[in-house]
Amino acid sequence: MATFGNLSDRLAETFKNLRTKGKLSAADVDGTVREIRRALLDADVALEVVKDFTGKVRERALGDEVSKALNPAQQVVQIVNDELITILGGQQRRLEFAKKPPTIIMLAGLQGAGKTTLAGKLAKWLAKDGHTPLLVAADLQRPNAVTQLEVVARQAGVAVYAPEPGNGVGDPVKVARDGVKYALQKVHDVVIVDTAGRLGVDAELMKQAANIRKAIDPDEVLFVIDAMIGQDAVATAKAFQDGVDFTGVVLTKLDGDARGGAALSVASLTGRPIMFASTGEGLDDFEPFHPDRMAGRILDLGDILTLIEQAQGAFDEDEARKVAEKFATDTFTLDDFLGQMQQLRNMGSIKKMMSMLPGAGAMKAQLENFDEREIVRTEAIIQSMTKLERTTPKLLNGSRRLRIAKGSGSSVTEVNQLVQRFEQAAKMMKTVAKGGMPNIPGMGPIPGAGYGGKPKVQQKKKGSKSGNPAKRAAENAALAAGVKPAGETASADAAGSGFGLGSGAQPGKGKAGGPTEEEMAALQKMLGR
């Protein structure tokens, strides 16, 4: 996540220095805590939060849980992760819906924090869960705020109540009250009230917000705060807490390049949980806030759970089952490949998804250089093929590939690369479908992996390895007669004696480490002596 990029880099570098140490001294812990303190202060985290955080980390890092750990460095990372989760709110807090609809949600915050856009995002997110939200335009102060809310509502596919034109005209308290009545009449189960903001905290803003709250008695009051606000975040949050008393926090603009200290300060100092996060400009760039997952992103530990949830929302299970069957029966075509690419694109930004993988911080340069339009170019190449060519890629000779390249605005080389990638993907997935492990290009087969059958065990050729021809002939003859050669017997006995087994001559059988009398007699008989 871009907002925490610098903080993640600083913390990763700090922990990197610990991994070379088998045991941590008090000086090592103090040095680590010092670096963490600097990283948090540079990220604009409030001083009070930083002191409390580093104090707890130091206390736990000097305790028995680290000194007795097999890997002290990993244990320190775990401690920092636990404390980050704590200052981010501990557990996820969900919306509390009214027992008797409609559930009333009031949005409050400064002008420019993104309340109006967030109203549309929240409404669309609720609509996906089967709710019927209504947006109420109670921001009659900012120019064109009402028009913007109407546009956002249309994009989100939800209803809007906007009886006043705004631009300084109308009573916001009356609009909010009438909006709740309108929701009851039209059977909307959620009402989202967009209120006015100011460039800064002032008495008029707080009075208006407090009057709206008294008039509609909301079930949730969400304080919308810009994650790029910096050190002023805490003062602003406390002012709104005293004036309006919000029940939860929504962070916006987490895709920006600011330091992100607001997220680490507000929840801790106000005692109110962060409930949602806005991660982009699109209406789908919105997600519930999970403190544990956010801590994982900050420490570059990944956020696999969110990635899985996004995949489940974008991928069709029935379609995935059909594709799996096609892999198993070797009927996977370029049409199916195209469908998979389109479903992947529906999940959103590829960069954002890859950034949720553990260790993504080490791939920052590659992620920055990744071209999101590559999927669009791939779609264009496949769509330039005929139906027969998509189902039977073996028909793609030179002239056909030239035609496809011209039709898709690409080069023949790009067409060749796409066909090669498709064949590799189909081959790998076919192996997986049959229960084997894929042969990853450039890596070879994975050692120890099965491929649907038992590997053939090559029998070692039995025979003497002696360089003396006479001795070699004697030993080979002895093997043919079922008698172990003297050298082999000696080595076997030596091997046994190494573990305390067979370490001495058996009574009446010969000297230790040598052949028995029966073996010697048989050998002499074979040699004709």
- Report pLDDT digits (tens) over 472-495: 766 776 666 655 555 444 444 444
CATH number, domain of 228, equals: 3.40.50.300
Average pLDDT over residues 213-221: 93
Is 197 known as a binding-site position? yes
Is 111 known as a binding-site position? yes
The verdict on residue 94 lying in a domain is: no
Q: Residues 213, 250: one domain? A: yes
Position 404 scores a pLDDT of 92
Q: Residues 218, 266: one domain? A: yes
Is 196 known as a binding-site position? yes
- 506 secondary structure, DSSP code: P
Is 256 known as a binding-site position? no
Q: Residues 336, 393: one domain? A: yes
Is 110 known as a binding-site position? yes
Is 58 known as a binding-site position? no
Q: Residues 254, 131: one domain? A: yes
The domain tally of the chain equals 3
Q: Positive or negative CA dihedral for 281, 283, 284, 285?
A: positive
User: pTM to 2 decimals?
Assistant: 0.61
Q: Residues 189, 123: one domain? A: yes
- Model confidence band, residue 218 (pLDDT cutoffs 50, 70, 90): very high
Cα–Cα distances in angstroms (integers) from residue 525 to residues 481, 520, 522, 529, in the given order: 11, 9, 5, 6
Domain, as residue range, for 205? 101-288
End-to-end CA distance of the chain: 87
CATH number, domain of 21, equals: 1.20.120.140
The verdict on residue 124 lying in a domain is: yes
Cis peptide before 102 (omega within 30 of 0): yes
The verdict on residue 413 lying in a domain is: yes
Written as one letter, the residue type at 341 is M
Q: Residues 106, 82: one domain? A: no
Q: Residues 82, 107: one domain? A: no
Is 112 known as a binding-site position? yes
- Model confidence band, residue 247 (pLDDT cutoffs 50, 70, 90): very high
Q: Which residue has the higher pLDDT, 370 or 414?
A: 414
Average pLDDT over residues 177-204: 89
Is 114 known as a binding-site position? yes
Q: Which residue has the higher pLDDT, 311 or 179?
A: 179
Is 516 known as a binding-site position? no
Cβ neighbours of residue 497 closer than 8 Å, sequence gap 6 or more:
503, 504
Q: Are strands 274-278 and 220-226 parallel, antiparallel or unpaired?
A: unpaired
Cβ–Cβ under 8 Å, residues 152 and 139:
no
**How many CB atoms sit inside 10 A of residue 432's CB?**
14
The verdict on residue 521 lying in a domain is: no
The whole-chain average pLDDT of the chain stands at 76
The verdict on residue 231 lying in a domain is: yes
Position 226 scores a pLDDT of 84
The verdict on residue 39 lying in a domain is: yes
Whether the per-residue pLDDT at 520 is higher than 60: the answer is yes
The verdict on residue 335 lying in a domain is: yes
Whether the per-residue pLDDT at 163 is higher than 70: the answer is yes
Position 6 scores a pLDDT of 66
Is 330 known as a binding-site position? no
How far apart, in whole angstroms, are the C-alpha atoms of residue 119 and residue 141?
A: 17
Average pLDDT over residues 114-125: 93
Whether the per-residue pLDDT at 513 is higher than 60: the answer is no
- Model confidence band, residue 420 (pLDDT cutoffs 50, 70, 90): confident
Q: Residues 251, 333: one domain? A: no
3-state secondary structure of 108: strand
Cβ–Cβ under 8 Å, residues 224 and 286:
no
CATH number, domain of 427, equals: 1.10.260.30
The verdict on residue 349 lying in a domain is: yes
Tokens (6 digits) for 181 = 């009545």
3-state secondary structure of 270: helix
Position 35 scores a pLDDT of 86
Most confident of 11-25, 179-193, 238-252: 179-193
Cβ neighbours of residue 379 closer than 8 Å, sequence gap 6 or more:
338, 341, 342
Position 394 scores a pLDDT of 85
Tokens (6 digits) for 22 = 């088998």
- Model confidence band, residue 60 (pLDDT cutoffs 50, 70, 90): confident
